[in-house]
């Protein structure tokens, strides 16, 4: 059975009032917190780092889903575990030894996810999908919030769902970038389990209500 989960992306939160937005997510129907870590090298932007993950972890009452948009993510596995990450997403494009990195994340006591950039085909995961807890499909080029959704994402989700079933994998499918109520129903229908949404939630008049709408 498919899930209908929502992970608000703190990238679009008000950093001057972060505790208020964390409290809003705690009280909402959201399932996870999504935290985007950008290094200015793997992606052309810098977001926030480990001290912010630690601070969020002190207040968050839901799991922390951490998306590493950084080179050499294997160097920071234990650091993010100590900071409070429950699920660690690394990019397929940033990992030379992906199998080893996934095992290290899981051995550190976290769920392991692999993220695919829009140009990366899902069939490249064929020989590792059975080990994964999650696959994050980027529906924008990573680096910035507020971009337009790439329509080819639906067919990528369908191909990934087929691969997951063929390989009897437990991996959840998460989608990130340009997600709103204009595409949420179709994304769940295509096979997505978890939707990440940033600007659509935080720029709305009633973010808690928007999160509830995204779960419908
Ligand atoms: O990973 C990200 C950017 O790299 C963000 O999580 C994603 O873009 C969500 O933002 P929005 O919902 O505003 O598109």
Average pLDDT over residues 143-150: 98
Atom 6 (ligand 1) nearest CA: 9
Residues known to be catalytic: 36, 176
120: which strand partners? none
In whole numbers, what is the pLDDT of the chain averaged over residues? Answer: 98
Say which CATH number the domain at 116 has.
Answer: 3.20.20.70
Q: Name the pTM for this structure.
A: 0.98
| 3-state secondary structure string across 59-119 | HCCCCEEEEEECCCHHHHHHHHHHHCCCEEEEEHHHCCCHHHHHHHHHHCCCEEEEEECCC
Atom of ligand 1 nearest to the CA of 199: 13
The answer to whether residue 2 scores a pLDDT higher than 80 is no
Query: ipTM beyond 0.85?
Result: yes
For residue 185, the tally of other CB atoms under 10 A from its CB is 12
Domain count, the chain: 1
For residue 163, how far is its CA from the centre of ligand 1 (angstroms)? Answer: 25
Instruction: Check the annotation: does 97 bind a ligand.
Output: no
Q: pLDDT tens digits, residue range 63-93?
A: 999 999 999 999 999 999 999 999 999 999 9
For the sheet with 111-116, list strands across it: 5-8, 194-197, 172-176, 134-138, 111-116, 87-91, 64-69, 33-38
Report angle CA 42, 45, 47 to the nearest 5 degrees.
105
For residue 8, how far is its CA from the centre of ligand 1 (angstroms)? Answer: 9
Q: Please give the residue range of the domain that contains residue 188.
A: 5-214
Mutational pocket test of ligand 1: of 12, 65, 139, 145, the residue with most ligand atoms within 8 Å of the beta carbon: 145
| Confidence at residue 196, expressed as pLDDT on a 0 to 100 scale | 98
The answer to whether residue 1 scores a pLDDT higher than 60 is no
For residue 202, how far is its CA from the centre of ligand 1 (angstroms)? Answer: 12
């Amino acid at each position: 059975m498919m899930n209908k989960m929502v992970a608000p992306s703190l990238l679009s939160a008000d950093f001057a009032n972060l505790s208020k937005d964390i409290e809003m997510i705690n009280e909402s129907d959201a399932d996870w917190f999504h935290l985007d870590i950008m290094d200015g090298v793997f992606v052309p932007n810098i977001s926030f780092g480990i001290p912010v993950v630690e601070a969020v972890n002190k207040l968050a009452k839901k799991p922390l889903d951490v998306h590493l948009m950084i080179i050499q993510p294997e160097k920071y596995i234990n650091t993010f575990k100590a900071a409070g990450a429950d699920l660690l997403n690394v990019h397929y494009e940033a990992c030379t030894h992906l199998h080893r990195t996934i095992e290290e994340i899981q051995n550190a006591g976290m769920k392991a996810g692999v993220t695919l950039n829009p140009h990366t085909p899902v069939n490249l995961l064929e020989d590792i999908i059975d080990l994964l807890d999650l696959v994050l499909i980027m529906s924008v080029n990573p680096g910035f919030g507020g971009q337009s959704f790439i329509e080819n994402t639906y067919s990528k989700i369908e191909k990934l769902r087929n691969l997951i079933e063929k390989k009897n994998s437990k991996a959840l499918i998460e989608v990130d970038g340009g997600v709103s109520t204009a595409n949420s129903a179709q994304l769940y229908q295509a096979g997505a389990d978890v939707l990440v949404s940033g600007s659509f939630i935080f720029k709305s008049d009633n973010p808690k209500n928007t999160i509830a709408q995204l779960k419908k």
